[in-house]
Structure 1
Amino acid sequence: MTSLGSEEELFQRLTSLDPTHTMRGFFFNSVLEVVRLLGDESAVKHCLSAAGEPRYLDFFSYPTESYVRMLYTAAKRLSDRYGGFEGALRVMGARTVMKFFDSAAGRALQVVVEGNPKRLLENLPATHRMGLRGGHCTLRWEGSTRGVLFIERISAPAPFIEGALHTLFEATRARNLKVASRQTAPLDVEFEVSWE
């Protein structure tokens, strides 16, 4: 298996993506905001250039391939500051969730889950469907405080999603929170989330 963040791995991910898959502009803007906060304006311009658009509208849909190019460019630019490529992805995943909480969809999700980690996990497949076209997210329970999210045709690398999930569940004040991932195919990943 090629190493995460290498040109070979990026090429494999891009060629495995379905060209009809799209993501809301919100995700692009979240990455750009994180890069602004954690990097600098020249890094933002570099990310826009890699993705191929001068700007993104939150509720419009754009090719997932463009998002992946932007995400990898951002992680490479921030890797020295955040412990490497994986560390930068985790930080961006966490910061994206913080931005999500400020959005109308994020506030609605917080109202629905009422700080309950079980309810949050139950709602993640539907939240996934709202923001992305393509890929599948399903949930399997393995106990009352442990579940496995299975994401097929995942766009973002596992460390990004781990960072996002950790921040999502920290907001519920779950104790002894653990998030771990296991890649089952080039674009399929299981995320085990548990708490007490």
Structure 2
Amino acid sequence: MILSGEQEAETIYKGAAYTCNNKFDKKRLVIDIGGASTELIIGQSFNARKVVSLNLGCVSFREQFFTNGQLTEQNINAAINAASEIINPISSDFIQLGWQSVSGGSGTIQALAEILSHRQQEIIITPTFLQEIKNKLIELKSIDNIIFDGLRTDRAAVLTSGLCILIALFNCLQIKELTLSTGALREGLLFEMLSNKA
């Protein structure tokens, strides 16, 4: 089955809602940063109310901004600015619709959650935490040097590019904090299969 960007976003939202204990009674923004695209969904309960798929991914951004593996303030800021240019045209519509909470379950968000979990801190991603990780990456100077306690080695290659996209999302959408969602596309497809059988 091939899904369009918007269908994928709606399915990701259902997966997040399906695995959420409170069944998304309040309006929620769900973020999923993929390899080639980023899905943003505002919904309530199991219904997605606003859906967008942006041409913005951690693999494509790594190839565009970090081909030599070097990490500098200049190329990290260039990636954040490029992501912001893609997000800004849709930001006002999303902010106007509003939400009570933000969650996400992509690889980048999982990676950041693993770092927080290893520190035995609450799994809440904030602008301060994102800035801390950005500063540490600049200190490390190369993707090959990326080591954080709790971070799986297979997540290191696209951590920087995913972080740049997430920082841009926080800035453009005025996000204050984000929590981890355990459900995404796979769980959404499962929920749809179960719903069709019911």
TM interval, shorter chain, is 0.3 to 0.5
Structure 1-normalised TM-score? 0.32
Structure 2-normalised TM-score? 0.32
**Larger relative contact order, structure 1 or 2 (CA cutoff 8 Å, min sep 6):** 2
